[in-house]
Structure 1
Amino acid sequence: MSERLDFYKSNPDAIKAMMGLEQRIGKSGLEKSLVDLVRLRASQINGCAYCVDMHASDARKAGENERRLATLCVWRETTFFTDRERAALEWTEALTLIAQSHAPDSVWEAVQPHFSPEELTDLTLLIVAINGWNRFAIAFRKLPA
């Protein structure tokens, strides 16, 4: 497989728009570890090798536990994640698979108690952003280094 297009170079204005989302996410009150887990989980679901590699590496550098990274794809079957993280991961999966899930009320009811309205908006923006990045990387065959 080879890269189809360097989307960073081909349209800097498009990437600048995506970076605007990242700037907001960086200013949010969401914990860095939670942001890393959400990015990695969405990337796993979408099958984005470039993003899985990058976000697993970022999480490790930030001190994330190797055991949690290894079991993120089966988070429901472990006790390694907090209730807040579990709610965020469930919301991530529902929104990443939106065509199938339609963001069910049961998931909304599970996530809402763990986040303020501002945090829920930021969490949703984070999920929107990583799904966008995944689509850029997959469409243009961005490969891990």
Structure 2
Amino acid sequence: MSTITKYQKRVNIKALEPDCWKSIIDIEAYLSQTSLDKKLRELIKIRASQINKCAYCIDLHTKDAIKLGETERRIFALSAWEESPLFSDKERAVLKLTEEITEITKTGVTDTTYDKVSEFFKEKEIAQIIIAINHMNFLNRIAVSTKLMHSN
């Protein structure tokens, strides 16, 4: 058995399972074609990645968010979104849903959270948000379990 250092990658799922990886990319491609706001999708990705402690995805999606015009100030405040005046009620509803899905064993998705999201989004959009959150959680778990690391 080999010894793995803290930052050494393990298996390369993309290389070992290209058919599965294509399906993963297809989900992202689908989500990019929906009407969901691209900056909101990046906030979902960053927040889920913060909770899951996925350094690779935090690095990737903060850069993507900035390219889309997201401010560094809001990205810095994202881990404390509940205490920050920088986020709209709509964003707060999605961030709460992101947290509850990401940490689903704590309380599940509460009716209060679902009802709040329903104030801002139609059912199809809610479905797409749930897919986006779960897709990011899946990718976080792949990156963390394989020790995928961003470069310096």
What TM-score results when the alignment is normalised by the length of structure 2? 0.93
Say which SS state the counterpart of residue 81 (structure 1) adopts. Answer: coil
Instruction: Output the CA distance in 2 between the equivalents of 1:89 and 1:5.
Output: 31
CA RMSD of aligned residues (A): 0.8
Greater CA deviation, 46-55 or 103-112?
103-112
Deviations 1:19-54 (A, max 9, x none): 121122111110011000000000000000100111
Alignment of 1:28-47 (within 5 A): 28-47=34-53
Amino acid at match of 1:131: N
Which residue, 58, 79, 90 being the options, matches 2:96?
90
Offset at residue 138 of structure 1 (A): 0.5
Q: Provide the C-alpha distance between the structure 2 equivalents of 1:8 and 1:36, rounded to a whole number of angstroms.
A: 22
Aligned residue pair count: 145
- Rg larger for: 2
- What is the distance in 2 between the residues matched to 1:10 and 1:142? 15
Query: Among 125, 129, 132, which residue is 1:126 paired with?
Result: 132
Could you tell me how far 1:96 is from its partner in structure 2?
A: 0.5
What SS is found at the alignment partner of 2:148?
A: coil
TM-score (norm 1): 0.97
Q: Specify every segment of 5 or more residues in structure 1 that has no aligned partner in the other structure, as ranges.
A: none
CA distance in 2, matches of 1:98, 1:14: 25
Q: For residue 35 of structure 2, give the secondary structure of its aligned residue in structure 1.
A: coil
The answer (yes or no) to whether the contact 1:3–1:142 under 8 Å persists in 2 is yes
Q: Which runs of 5+ in 2 are unaligned?
A: 1-6
Secondary structure (helix, strand or coil) at the match of 1:86 reads helix
Runs of 4+ in 1 over 4 A off after TM superposition: none
Residue in 1 aligned with 2:3?
none
**Match for 1:61 among 59, 67, 72?**
67
Instruction: Flag the structure with more relative contact order, 1 or 2, with Cα contacts below 8 A and sequence separation at least 6.
Output: 1
CA shift, 1:10, in A, is 1.2
